[in-house]
Chain A
Amino acid sequence: MVAALGRWANGKARDYAYALGFFFQVLKETALFMRRKQVAFRVLVLQILFTGVEAMSIVALIALAFGAVIIVEGGTVLPRFGQTSLLYSILIVVITRELGPILTAFIIIARSAPAIATELGNMVVSHEIEAYMSVGINPIAYLVVPRVLGVTLSVMVLTIYFNFFGLVGSFLVAQLIHPIPFVEYFSALLRTLQLRDIVSTVLKSVVFGVIISVVATYQGFKVSASVTEIPRSAIKAVGQGFVLCFLADALITLIYYV
């Protein structure tokens, strides 16, 4: 029993040490990325295409829907309490501070995290990673860093894009319930919007992007020999991505607004 517990603790400690080592390698290689004559630049462009550009339509659709839901709910409930003027604050708080970053992160976790973990896991099993090493390519620099940069940049831009469409969506629905002139609506929103809201949304999106990409690439590289490990890694990339993004969201909100 004690021996089994010791083995379990030893295994866990080794896993955490490996994860920490992986993270520091990623940081180091990311810092060196621009200084090197990169053959990995194409990988970065492709990652932005897969994670960012291809997700634009689904992000826009979800943002429009959520913006609409918030204004319908707010427009129905707030007048009962005589707080109609709070609608703009609620839109900014809910969409810009919270829903924009976290829902964009969820969309990317669902779309890209399993794809990245699966692709890298397959590359490990088919010895493609060793093949990269054999020709002198550092797999962290060539395969991980472009994905981390691509996903992080994509999450950041998509979050701003989500916020924009969320607020536009709410405006469109507002036209059906209680038509407001375009200028009046957006000037009221801009008056409510503070710089720290923008900083918060950008900070969260960057942190979420790093979490999603590092977890997904780590899980992909953790596959050792068998294809049966790949779906498990993909599931872990999604599960751990969700949990860590939620925790980071709570932590940033606590530090930033409390």
Chain B
Amino acid sequence: MADIVALEDVRVTLGGFQALRGVSVGFAEGKSTVIMGPSGCGKTTLLKVAAGLIPPDEGRVLFNGKDIFLLSERGLLDMRRQNGFVFQDGALWENKSLFENLSLPLQVHFPDVPAADRNRRVIRALERVGLEESASERPAALSGGEKKIASFLRALMTEPALLFMDEPTLSIDHAMTDRIHQIIRDQKGRGSTIIAVTHDAQLTSTLADRLVVMDAGQVIAAGDFDEIKRSRHARVRAILSEVLKDIASYDTDLLSLLDGKGESI
């Protein structure tokens, strides 16, 4: 299957720190890829570069074979409509209500659709997750989990074919985690391409078709999930073990976790 997004020898330096050091990796269309690695290894940077939010200092980022950073204004807008991004901290617009947070992407991408139709779509989305009562609230009035859900809804408003997720279940309670897992499963069921950075073993087990393992700004392993999780590469084993907080019994516990037989971490 063709890569919907591909990075070619990408290098990024942020604030004097080399966040990505010559990363080349492809993300197959229709597949779900989980990116794992220790904190500070460049996972979020990789995700944002792949989404065209951070320009690389060197190298190319291709979306459907075209360099994202050379796209025309119209081409870029079209690409954004096909992409959704869920930020680690939600990144909702604090000066807008929840309703406005969800309706703005529709105003941008579907300016010719009547406002009443757009508004109905927003209300339906909020009803689906039980947040319709909070439509007029500012993000500051929402809980952490609700913000995360709202961030998902915003990313999905334009029904994107490609979804980027940065730690979608970090720092939220079990009930919210379950709801987010359900949203992600639905998205995967629709055949969307998903690229996720996560430490959530349960989510990884249900989501990942492919696994990318990073260390110190480089991709050290990338391939099918089943193949990578059984890798004999010492550093890959160490990182998966470290990331998933498995200490001694890697072969049994880690595989159980990644196979979805363990508890969520």
Contacts and interface: CB of A to CB of B under 8 A. Distances in A.
B51 A134 contact: yes
B104 A135 contact: yes
Interface residues of B, number: 29
Interface centre among A39, A136, A137, A224 (most CB of B within 10 A): A136
Nearest to B53: A130
A128 interface: yes
A129 to B, nearest CB: 9
Contacts of A122: 94
Interface in A157-202: none
Nearest to A130: B53
Contacts of A123: 93-94
B29 interface: no
B87 A136 contact: no
A136 B81 contact: yes
A131 B158 CA distance: 14
Interface string B12-50: 000100000000000000000000000000000000100
Interface string A127-146: 11011111111000000000
B108 A134 contact: no
A159 to B, nearest CB: 28
B198 to A, nearest CB: 17
B87 to A, nearest CB: 5
Interface in B84-116: 84-85, 87-89, 91-95, 104-105, 107-109, 111
A250 interface: no
Contacts, number: 61
Interface string A212-244: 000000000000110000000000000000000
A37 B111 CA distance: 8
Given A130-B53, A131-B85, A224-B15, A137 B91 contact: no
Given A37-B111, A39-B108, A128-B94, A135 B80 contact: yes
A118 B83 CA distance: 30
A126 interface: yes
Given A134-B85, A225-B15, A128 B91 contact: yes
Given A135-B80, A136-B80, A130 B107 contact: no
A122 to B, nearest CB: 8
A151 to B, nearest CB: 17
Given A126-B91, A127-B87, A127-B91, A134 B107 contact: no
Contacts of B105: 135-136
A126 B91 CA distance: 6
Contacts of A126: 89, 91, 94
Interface in A18-72: 37, 39
B76 A136 contact: yes
Nearest to B106: A135
B77 interface: yes
B48 A130 contact: yes
Given A39-B104, A134-B84, 17 more contacts: A37-B111, A126-B89, A126-B91, A127-B88, A127-B89, A127-B91, A130-B85, A131-B91, A131-B92, A131-B93, A131-B154, A134-B83, A134-B85, A135-B105, A135-B154, A136-B105, A225-B15
Interface of A: 37, 39, 119, 122-123, 126-128, 130-137, 224-225
Interface of B: 15, 48, 51-53, 76-77, 80-81, 83-85, 87-89, 91-95, 104-105, 107-109, 111, 154-155, 158
- The list of the 3 closest CB pairs from A to B, nearest first, reads A136-B80, A134-B85, A127-B91
